[in-house]
Amino acid sequence: MKTFEEKWTAWLDGQLTGRELSEFEASLPDRAAAEAEKANAKQLGELLKREFGARTLTNEEFFSHQLREKIKQERFESSAGFASGRRKNSSWWTIPRLLWAGTMSLALFLVCMVLVMQNEKPADESQYLTQILNARVDPVISPNATVSIFEVKQDRVTVLWTEGLQSLPADYAAK
């Protein structure tokens, strides 16, 4: 469905035909005024054509020359940019450099590990462990005695596993 503006423009430009034209003309409230407006628009078009005709392009050859130079420059820049981009991408990550970077990273990691391990404080030993270690297992009294220690330092847990003891030190239970 065309709007009034579209129909009016088409009518003005002689683009309305057949039933569309007769319907539009019949719908005009003042046919004479519309015809005058149409003539007016034609005058405007003629005026624009007459006064705003084609402008000459002075120095046409220079215009083309300048454009050719710009295109040449643009092509050079794009090809140079592509080449430098490719050089840039491929030049740094050569295999020797990759190897060197990998080795250096590994060495740095190891140094850091050693430093961290050296600085780490040993966990406080259990009071029980000290006592048991200081205790002596008499081979005469308990010839088959074995003492095993299982220690989980992170959790600060030490499990003392004793087997074959005839007796425990008298003060051990008190601790």
Partner 1 sequence: MNKGGLRPTMQTEATPAQADVSELDLVRRCQAGDTEAFDELVTRYRTRVFSMIYNMVHSEQDAWDLAQDSFLKAWKSIKRFRGRSSFYTWIYRIVMNVTIDWLRKKHIKGAGAEFDDAIQLRQVDPASKTVPKKEALPYETMQRDEIRTRIEQAIAQLSPEHRAVILMKELEDMQYHEISEALGCSIGTVMSRLFYARKKLQNLLRDVYENV
Interface contacts to partner 1, rule CB under 8 A = 2-3, 5-6, 8-10, 12-13, 15, 37, 40-41, 43-49, 51-58, 60, 63-64, 66-68, 70-72, 74
**CB closer to partner 1, 47 vs 112:** 47
Task: Write down the least CB distance from residue 54 to partner 1, Å.
Answer: 5
**CB closer to partner 1, 30 vs 171:** 30
Residue 15 backbone dihedrals phi, psi, to 5 degrees: -100, -5
Name residue, tokens 């029980």: 128
Task: Write down the least CB distance from residue 78 to partner 1, Å.
Answer: 9
Task: Write down the least CB distance from residue 92 to partner 1, Å.
Answer: 30
Q: CA 39 → CA 14, 42, 49, 121, 140, distances in Å?
A: 12, 5, 15, 102, 136
Cα separation, 112 vs 120, whole angstroms = 12
Cα 88 → chain centroid: 21
- Those residues with Cβ within 8 angstroms of residue 162's Cβ, 6 or more apart along the chain or in another chain: 145, 146, 147, 148, 168
**CB closer to partner 1, 17 vs 58:** 58
Task: Write down the least CB distance from residue 98 to partner 1, Å.
Answer: 37
